[in-house]
Structure formats: structure tokens, C-alpha cells
Chain A
Amino acid sequence: MAHSLSEECTPLKHKYDSCFNAWFEGYLEPAMNVSADAQQRETYSKQKAAEYEEKCGKIWESYRLCVQKAVKDKGLDTLLQQAREENPLTEPPPVDKSSSPSPNS
């Protein structure tokens, strides 16, 4: 696993990454196969989001606080703020049509 930008945060980061990866690997394939029905998708997503929070929420909070401080110490907070203002990316960017698979494939 890659290191954190602050050595102090690396052990927390490794713990958090392991937790997320374990959750994600259990989440992804069932999420792909869950029925196209919006209601069912919502029920599944809600349940898995809660499970993630329950399993990884605590370690995430410790890691987040550590890395937040490290980002500030490195002077990256202003640069990040600028980048967020310029391009918030709160929604997935529009799909590039030229690289889309054709509907029949």
C-alpha cells in the first residue's frame, strides 16, 4: 500500500484502506447485478452505505483528521480550495460519446 504524504498518518491510512477495500470488494459485484428497478437499487445502496459507515466510519474519522492537518502543513489546502472552486466535480462528468460502447455491444 502506498504511503501517506505524512509518515504520521501512514498507519491510519493503511488501516482505513484495508477496511474500504474489503467493503468495496463485497459491494461492487452485487451492486452491478442488483435489479435495474430504482427502488431496489436504492434499498441496496442505502444498506451498503450504512454498512460502510458502521465498519469504516471510525477509522476514517481518525485518518481524515490526520491527513487534513498534513495537507495544511504542506500548504496544499489553498491549492486544493482553488482546484475545488474551479472544478467542484460533485457530479460525474458527462460521458465522452466517442468512447461510449455502442448500445448493442
Chain B
Amino acid sequence: MHFFSQLFNYEHPWSHVVIGMWHKYPNPHCSHVVTVDTLSRTIDPKTGIVRTERVLGCKQKAPTWIVKLFGGSEDAFVREISFIDPATQRATITSVNLSLSQFATCLEQVQYFPSSPHRTAFSQTAEVQARLALWRMAADGLEKWLVQRFEQNAQLGKVALSDVLRTLWEERHAAHV
């Protein structure tokens, strides 16, 4: 598993940052995010917490070996869940990749909270994890296939040389007669 984290401040009050969140895309600095769709949204009538589920469409060129191995494409989708709690002044956003998620997941968590009335702290952590169980299954399958191919080819090799030997020596015998 690999981790990433960072923490910094925006020189804007929390409410401005949280309002701005919904206006982040499209953005020339993040041109890889091309589509943003809201799938569900609830406003809790008790706590006032706004929960939003979105799906972000990204165009990011994956390394060619990844595309070849896993059959990925340029389009990648991410599921994002956000909670905005006005009472505690905290916004929490969790994202996970949908594309290629059978091989590896990248789980990101972002929080925005006031560090002063005029500043907002941004904390971000991400963990990338390959699905080892699946890799192992894939590796097992590959090994089985390779052994089968080897057995088949070994059989063919036997037949091939037997043929050559028969032809060669039958011809030579014939020549001596």
C-alpha cells in the first residue's frame, strides 16, 4: 500500500471555500476532469448535513503498458461522496476510482475546516492499494495456462521428431536396399 498526504491553508473563510467547491470544474489547471454528475443528494432535516454522491469523468492517459495489460481506456470514472456539516463547519470528501478498480483502488479523503475565521485548512490523504487476492488469482490462472500450453507443445514436439526420424531412416534404409 502507498500513502500520500498534504495539509495547507486557503486564505478564504470556510463558507467561501465550500461554496467554491461546487464551482471547481471545469478548470484549466485540472483539464483531466471533463464531466461531473450528481447521482444523489440529501439534506438531513435534523442535522442540516448535505450529502452528495457524484461521479467524475476523467481523461487521463494511462501508461501504455497499463492499457495493454488491463484493457483500460482513456476514460476513467471516480465516485465521490461529500458531507458538508454547517454545525461543525467541516466538509469531508471521499473519492474512489471506479475504473480498473478490480486491480487497484485509490482512496482519497479530503477535509476542509476553518483554521481561523478567514482561513480554511485543507487536508488530503490518499492510499493506493493493489488487490493482491485478485492478482494472485490472475497469476494462478496464468500459471495453469502456461503449464497446459507447455504440455501441449511437449506432445507436439514428440510427434514432430518421431515423424522426422521415421522419414529420415526409412529413406536411408530404402537407399541401402
Contact = CB atoms under 8 A, between A and B. Distances in A.
Given A3-B34, A13-B37, A101-B121, A31 B48 contact: yes
B35 A83 contact: no
Contact of B46 (A24, A42, A89, A93): A42
Q: In this complex, which of B15, B33, B48, B81 has the most chain A Cβ atoms within 10 angstroms of its Cβ?
A: B48
Interface in B1-59: 7, 14-15, 18-19, 22-23, 25-26, 33-41, 43-51, 55, 57
A71 B111 contact: no
Contacts of B57: 5
Contacts of A9: 37
Given A5-B37, A80-B98, A89-B94, A45 B48 contact: yes
Contacts of A87: 94, 96
A41 B37 contact: no
Contacts of A63: 38
A45 B46 contact: yes
B98 to A, nearest CB: 4
Interface residues of B, number: 54
Contact of A83 (B48, B96, B109): B96
Interface in B48-102: 48-51, 55, 57, 77, 79, 81, 83-87, 89-90, 92, 94, 96, 98-99, 101
B113 A100 contact: yes
